[in-house]
Homo-oligomer: A and B are copies of this chain.
């Protein structure tokens, strides 16, 4: 039986950090939450919204008597935040993060935390919205979602279990992956789709008759491009951090596009339908599997 956290410090009280705070408070899994970040306005907003109890001016103040630290800032800032944390990191404090990439975060952590690396348990909750900031935080953002822990060889089982417990208190389901495997998977199913959606909206917006085009864009376009409403800074950082895996996925995708383009040029009815039908079938199977898992979760519990 795990006991509640006494004091959690959250670096970055936006959508991800704010939703974590709200969920842990609701679960009674934390006594006090302190926020720290670049934007004083965001911190004050988070305090007004009851997301955090206190604002810390710096890492030293934030880490004082703290048993868990969550870094929920764009991934490119992880190294600098860990460097600021390092001198104030006491034994017994666990540091975790919520970054969408893991290999670069682990490398930054090794560099910044040195001999204290065992205290860093990297993680990634698979949830998001196309809105940012503390106002976007939701108490149930993580309910039924996956939280992937990419543990380090140095991590203790107890610390990994403690981080898993925190995410479970938010309603998340724990998965474990190696950092590199994590990055390869999310390059394919998350990072590349974001890049593709941004590219499409950018392409249309640059056309001289963009206004007419947007006027006739409907719900299909709206859903397809929803992720292009996400934070450009956050996704720039993810793209840079995971660019090797993203390039591989992008090249694989553009190779499929070339084949489809040739089918169009050839008016190859069977070729086009083959690709469309394979995709529709795969997506249908995927959605069915999700729905079955959700049903099992609702009925089975655990």
- Determine the residue in chain B with the shortest Cβ distance to A127: B218
Contact of A196 among B200, B217, B222 (CB under 8 A): B200
Cβ A218 vs Cβ B250 within 8 A: no
Give the contacts of A275-297 with B (CB-CB under 8 A). 275-284, 286-287, 289
11 contacts between A and B (CB under 8 A): A128-B218, A198-B260, A198-B276, A198-B279, A201-B278, A202-B282, A210-B282, A220-B226, A224-B226, A229-B287, A240-B267
Cβ B220 vs Cβ A194 within 8 A: yes
A185-B212, A189-B204, A199-B279 in contact; A264/B289 too (CB < 8 A)? no
A224-B226, A224-B227, A261-B250 in contact; A279/B188 too (CB < 8 A)? no
Cβ B257 vs Cβ A199 within 8 A: yes
Cβ A272 vs Cβ B240 within 8 A: yes
Cβ B275 vs Cβ A218 within 8 A: no
Cβ B250 vs Cβ A257 within 8 A: yes
A230 to B273, CA, bound (A): 12
- Determine the residue in chain B with the shortest Cβ distance to A229: B283
Judge if A233 is at the interface, Cβ distance under 8 Å.
yes
Per assembly, the copies of the chain total 2
- Determine the residue in chain B with the shortest Cβ distance to A204: B188
A272 to B238, CA, bound (A): 11
Cβ A216 vs Cβ B189 within 8 A: yes
- Determine the residue in chain B with the shortest Cβ distance to A214: B286
Judge if A157 is at the interface, Cβ distance under 8 Å.
no
Cβ B221 vs Cβ A224 within 8 A: no
Residues from chain B with a CB closer than 8 A to the CB of A199 are 253, 256-257, 260, 275, 279
Contact of A205 among B201, B203, B226, B282 (CB under 8 A): B282
- Chain B CB within 10 A, most for which of A204, A224, A276: A276
- Determine the residue in chain B with the shortest Cβ distance to A275: B202
A233-B273, A250-B264, A260-B195 in contact; A283/B243 too (CB < 8 A)? no
Residues from chain B with a CB closer than 8 A to the CB of A260 are 195, 198-199
A189 to B223, CA, bound (A): 12
Judge if A146 is at the interface, Cβ distance under 8 Å.
yes
